[in-house]
C-alpha cells in the first residue's frame, strides 16, 4: 500500500507530545501541536504558582499544569529516562547550565527536553498558548478540533487524526475519608505542593505511599511540628516512628476525622492535625474529548483501548500516548509514537476492530482474574518491557537495549538496599558503562 501523509493534531507539548510530533513528521505526516502553556516541557515546567483550590476539587479553579515541587529530583537513573536516540546526557554544546548528577533536579529534565526540541526542530510545529477545548468526530472519519488562544481567538479545524498527549498528573485524586465534610482543618493535594514553608510548625497528616509522598514527607519533616504518614499499603494497626526522625510516624490508613480536628487511626491513636496533605495520585482527564461514549474513563481506566493506545472503533485516527504508569516513560512514548505514525501512513496494519476488541476484553479479564483493581489497568511495572518489545516488533525497530531492562531492576534493588539514599548511591557501574558505550553512537 502507498504510504499516506495525514494531517495530524497532537494535543500537548510535554515529553509525549514532543516525541509524537517527531515520529509523525519523520513518517511524512503534517503535524500541528497544540500547547496551552507558553513553553514546551509539560510537567517539567516548574512554577511556584498553585491553584486557587488547594485540594483541586473545584471545577472552576484556575488550572496550573505542573505538579513539580522545588526540591524534586528524578526518580529513575537518567541513563534509562531519556529517549532512545537522544540520550539524557549533558552535551558540550548545550548552552544551559546542566546538572550532571545521575538523578538530577527537575530543571535538568526541562533543559534536556528543550535540547530534544531544538535538535529535531519541534517548536516550529507547536502553537503555544492554544488550548484545545473540543475534539469530536465529523463525517468521513475526520476530527473537528476547536482551540482557543490566550488572546481569546477561537479556531475550528479539521484533522485526519488526533493524538492525545495531555498528560495525567494534573487532575487530583483525593482519598475518601469518613467525616471529612465536617473536618475544619486545611486540605491540600500534592499537585499544589511546592515548598515546605507553609507547613512550618504545623501538625500534618500526609496520605500516600508513592515516591512523591516519600519525598514530600522528608521535605516537610525539617520544618513541621509533626508529620504522620497514613498509608493504605502498610498492615492494619501500624503506628511506628520513622527511623532517623523524631517528629515523623507511619500509620495505616485513617479510620475517621472529626469536627474538633482529630484524625483517628485503626490502632485507636488520635492526632489533632492542622493539615491533611493528599499525596494520592491523579485522574485521567480529557475534558475536550467528545466520542459519543465510545471512550470512557471509569475508575481511572481509559477504555476500551487496544494496547493502551487505540479505541478499536476509532483506530487509528484517535490515539493516546503515555497512559501507562509505573514505567520508564520517555522510551515508551517513543515506541507508542512510532507505532501510531506507522499505522497512520499505512506502513503498518492493525487487526480488525473485532479482533482488537477481543484483545481488550481478554486483557481486562486477565487483570480481573488476577485480582487487579480496575484503577490499575494502565499500571505496567515489570511487564512494560514485554509491552515495549511488542510495540518495537510492530514498528520493525530494535527492541529495548538489555542494559535498560537490567538498570530498571537494579534501580529497585538498590532502593531496597540503600533506602532514601538511592539517588546518591549507585552500585551497578557496569550498567552505566554499557549505557554510555551505547550512547556513543548518538553523541559522537
- Catalog residues that contact ligand FAD under the rule CB under 6 A: 11-17, 34-37, 42-44, 65, 67-68, 74-76, 81, 131-132, 165-167, 169, 212, 288, 322, 329
CB of 336 to ligand FAD, least distance (A): 10
Contact 214, 234 (CB under 8 A): no
Residue 42 Cβ vs ligand FAD, minimum distance, rounded to whole Å: 2
- The Cβ of residue 252 has, within 10 Å, a number of other Cβ atoms equal to 18
Write out the three cell numbers for 315: 483506530
CB of 132 to ligand FAD, least distance (A): 4
State which residue, 42 or 56, has the beta carbon closest to ligand FAD: 42
DSSP-derived 3-state class of residue 289:
strand
Q: Assess contact for 55 and 171: CB atoms under 8 A.
A: no
Number of C-beta neighbours around residue 163 at 10 A: 31
Q: How far is the CB of 258 from ligand FAD (least distance, A)?
A: 31
Strand order of the sheet with strand 256-257? 256-257, 262-264, 270-272
Contact 216, 237 (CB under 8 A): no
CB of 202 to ligand FAD, least distance (A): 21
Alpha-carbon span 24 to 21, nearest angstrom: 5
Question: Please, what is the minimum distance in Å from the beta carbon of residue 399 to ligand FAD?
Answer: 20
- Classify residue 4 by its DSSP letter: P
Kindly tell me which of 29 and 65 has the beta carbon lying closer to ligand FAD.
Answer: 65
CA 7 to chain centre: 26
Q: How far is the CB of 39 from ligand FAD (least distance, A)?
A: 8
Q: How far is the CB of 156 from ligand FAD (least distance, A)?
A: 14
- 411: cell is 534501580
Q: At what angle do helices 329-344 and 384-395 cross, to 10 degrees?
A: 30
Identify which of residues 40 and 254 has a Cβ nearer to ligand FAD in the complex.
40
**Backbone φ, ψ for residue 226 (5° rounding):** -140, 145
Question: In the complex with ligand FAD, which residue's Cβ is closer, 193 or 265?
Answer: 193
Q: What is the Rg, in whole angstroms, of the alpha carbon atoms belonging to the chain?
A: 23
CB 314 within 8 A of CB 360: no
Spatial CA neighbour of 102 closest among 126, 128, 74: 74
Query: Nearest approach, Cβ of 257 to ligand FAD (angstroms)?
Result: 26
**Coil vs helix vs strand at 154:** strand
Residues 344, 315: contact at Cβ < 8 Å?
no
Q: Which is nearer to ligand FAD, 73 or 353 (CB)?
A: 73
**Closer by beta carbon to ligand FAD, 34 or else 199:** 34
Nearer to ligand FAD, 288 or 426 (CB): 288
* Shorter beta-carbon distance to ligand FAD: residue 34 or 183: 34
* Cα atoms in the 13 Å half-sphere on the side-chain side of 442: 17
Alpha-carbon gap, residue 169 to 279, rounded angstroms: 12
Residue count (the chain): 444
In terms of CB distance, is 164 or 203 closer to ligand FAD?
Answer: 164
Amino acid at each position: 500500500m502507498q504510504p499516506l501523509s495525514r494531517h495530524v493534531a497532537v494535543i500537548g507539548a510535554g515529553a509525549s507530545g514532543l516525541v509524537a510530533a517527531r515520529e509523525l513528521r519523520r513518517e511524512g505526516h503534517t503535524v500541528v501541536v497544540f500547547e496551552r502553556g507558553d513553553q514546551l516541557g509539560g510537567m517539567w515546567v516548574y512554577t511556584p504558582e498553585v491553584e486557587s483550590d488547594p485540594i483541586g476539587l473545584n471545577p472552576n479553579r484556575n488550572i496550573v499544569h505542573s505538579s513539580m515541587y522545588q526540591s524534586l529530583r528524578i526518580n529513575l537513573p537518567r541513563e534509562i529516562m531519556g529517549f532512545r536516540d537522544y540520550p539524557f546526557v549533558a552535551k558540550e554544546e548545550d548552552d544551559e547550565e546542566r546538572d550532571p548528577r545521575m538523578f538530577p533536579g527537575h530543571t535538568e529534565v526541562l533543559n534536556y527536553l528543550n535540547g530534544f526540541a531544538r535538535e529535531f526542530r519541534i517548536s516550529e510545529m507547536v502553537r503555544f498558548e492554544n488550548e484545545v477545548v473540543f475534539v469530536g468526530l465529523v463525517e468521513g472519519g475526520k476530527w473537528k478540533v476547536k482551540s482557543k488562544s490566550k488572546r481569546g481567538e477561537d479556531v475550528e479545524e479539521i484533522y485526519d487524526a488526533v493524538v492525545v498527549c495531555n498528560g495525567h498528573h494534573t487532575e487530583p485524586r483525593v482519598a475518601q475519608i469518613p467525616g471529612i465534610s465536617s473536618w475544619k482543618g486545611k486540605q491540600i493535594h500534592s499537585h499544589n505542593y511546592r515548598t515546605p514553608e507553609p507547613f512550618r510548625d504545623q501538625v500534618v497528616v500526609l496520605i500516600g505511599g508513592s515516591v512523591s509522598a516519600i519525598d514530600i514527607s522528608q521535605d516537610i519533616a525539617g520544618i513541621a511540628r509533626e508529620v504522620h504518614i497514613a498509608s493504605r499499603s502498610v498492615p492494619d494497626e501500624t503506628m511506628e516512628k520513622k527511623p532517623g526522625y523524631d517528629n515523623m510516624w507511619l500509620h495505616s490508613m485513617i479510620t475517621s476525622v472529626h469536627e474538633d480536628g482529630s484524625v483517628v487511626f485503626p490502632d485507636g491513636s488520635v492526632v489533632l492535625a492542622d493539615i491533611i496533605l493528599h499525596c494520592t495520585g491523579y485522574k485521567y482527564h480529557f475534558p475536550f474529548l467528545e466520542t459519543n461514549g465510545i471512550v470512557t474513563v471509569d475508575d481511572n481506566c481509559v477504555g476500551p483501548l487496544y494496547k493502551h493506545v487505540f479505541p478499536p472503533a476509532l483506530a487509528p485516527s484517535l490515539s493516546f500516548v503515555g497512559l501507562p504508569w509505573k514505567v520508564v516513560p520517555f522510551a515508551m512514548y517513543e515506541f507508542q509514537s512510532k507505532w501510531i505514525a506507522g499505522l497512520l501512513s499505512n506502513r503498518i496494519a492493525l487487526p480488525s476492530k473485532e479482533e482488537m476488541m477481543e484483545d481488550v476484553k481478554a486483557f481486562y479479564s486477565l487483570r480481573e482474574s488476577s485480582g487487579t483493581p480496575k484503577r490499575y489497568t494502565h499500571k505496567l511495572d515489570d511487564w512494560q518491557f514485554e509491552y515495549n518489545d511488542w510495540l518495537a516488533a510492530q514498528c520493525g525497530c530494535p527492541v529495548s537495549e538489555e542494559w535498560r531492562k537490567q538498570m530498571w531492576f537494579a534501580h529497585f534493588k538498590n532502593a531496597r538496599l540503600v533506602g532514601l539514599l538511592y539517588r546518591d548511591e549507585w552500585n551497578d557501574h557496569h550498567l552505566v558503562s554499557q549505557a554510555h558505550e551505547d550512547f556513543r553512537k548518538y553523541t559522537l
